[in-house]
Structure 1
Amino acid sequence: MQEVLKDCKSRMKKAIATLEKEFSKLRTGRASTGLLDDVLVDYYGTLTPLNQLASISIPDSRTISIQPWDRNAFAGVEKAIMKSDLGLNPVNDGKVIRINIPPLTEERRKDLVKLAKKYSEDTKVAVRNVRRDANETLKKMKNSKELTEDDMHKGQDEVQKITDSFVEQADQVLAEKEKEIMEI
């Protein structure tokens, strides 16, 4: 039974970690290197993650600075950022590529909050699916006489407590992101 609970916790932790990763890609009014995590640059015919071609830094709260290590990569980096669905315009001065993060409009903020809520709901569904799997495993163990009826019910109660704590955690992460998005 302990193995089932341990597996349950670890899978739910992964769901929350995935939610946090998704949230890091959501654009807020502030500059963040997480925005560029999924940008792939065509580098000598190979799609390469931007963070493997350049150093990315945040000189101030509204600017992302990208310094490619190879001079030949500048055009590709610029093109990849423009092609991405982030809606950002890179400025190349020959040494560094700068991206100014424009302030978000009220409408765009509301759309981002809706998207954040959708990500959060997807995470809760994933957590509940893990709960269902754990409960089914406990029932199978009871049917194969590995657990008594009472132990199965104790296990299911424990799985429910774990589920509740992870759903609450997803809500907290959402509340923080919502606050960050709505911040002007």
Structure 2
Amino acid sequence: MAKNEIIQKAEEKMQKAQNVLERDLGSIRAGRANASLLDKVSVDYYGAPTPLNQMASITIPEPRVLLVTPYDKSVLNDIEQAILMSDLGINPANDGSAIRLVVPQLTEETRKDLAKNVKAEGEKAKVAVRNIRRDAMDTLKKANKNGDYNDDEFHDLEKQTQDSTDKAIKVVDEIVANKEKEVLEG
């Protein structure tokens, strides 16, 4: 394995950890309508769990309203049930052709709880990044023992790995800070 391949793979994995964090934080509601709130909702469609966003168009006609318009009107009640069964805490209003979801205004206490959840998700992402760094360092140490690198090269690669980790952690912190601000401001 070439020197840079180890670091490059680690950086790719760190990027994936950041992407997962962004996706997970997208499903945390912040008092305003966001189509990603419904990303984790699956509807039983002809016996198969199907993601809601594949069965309906999701639009935001007003800042705190999501409008779910199914492509097949016969599944309207199934979609309504799936939303009710999800842990969104939003009651759907079925008007016969579409479902309206009014995102409730968040209380201060709820905002603080959501901010804690955001921080917890951020910590999970940081742990993932650190685990990736540890794995990369272990791989580098094995390669160094095998004589693939001299000590100077090994220390340079160690430093590059740490720099990549620091950058990834900084990005995670920025993502968390932005989401936390969004949640607390509403």
Q: Which band: TM-score by shorter chain?
A: over 0.9
Of 38, 41, 47, the match for 1:39: 41
> Can you give the 5+ residue segments of structure 2 that lack an aligned partner in the other structure?
none
Deviation at 1:149, TM superposition (A): 1.1
Q: How does 1:36-75 map to 2 (within 5 A)?
A: 36-75=38-77
Deviation at 1:44, TM superposition (A): 1.9
Deviations 1:119-147, CA, capped at 9 Å, x for gaps: 00010011011111111111111111111
Deviations 1:70-99, CA, capped at 9 Å, x for gaps: 121010000000000011111111121100
SS of 1:94's equivalent in the other structure is coil
- 1:133 aligns with 135
Distance 1:78 1:126 in 2: 36
Query: 4+ residue stretches of structure 1 with deviation over 3 A?
Result: none
Deviation at 1:47, TM superposition (A): 1.2
Deviation at 1:117, TM superposition (A): 0.4
- 2:157 aligns with 155
Name the Cα RMSD after superposition: 0.7
Distance 1:119 1:79 in 2: 28
Deviation at 1:165, TM superposition (A): 0.7
Between the aligned residues of both structures, percent identity stands at: 46
Matched to 1:105, the amino acid is: T
Deviation at 1:106, TM superposition (A): 0.7
Matched to 1:126, the amino acid is: A
> Can you give the 5+ residue segments of structure 1 that lack an aligned partner in the other structure?
none
Distance 1:70 1:61 in 2: 26
TM-score, length basis structure 2:
0.97
Of 114, 117, 129, the match for 2:116: 114
Distance 2:18 2:113 in 1: 22
- 1:29 aligns with 31
- 2:13 aligns with 11
Distance 1:103 1:72 in 2: 31
Q: How does 1:91-102 map to 2 (within 5 A)?
A: 91-102=93-104
Matched to 1:46, the amino acid is: A
SS of 2:147's equivalent in the other structure is coil
Distance 1:47 1:3 in 2: 39
Of 171, 175, 178, the match for 1:176: 178
Distance 1:69 1:137 in 2: 50
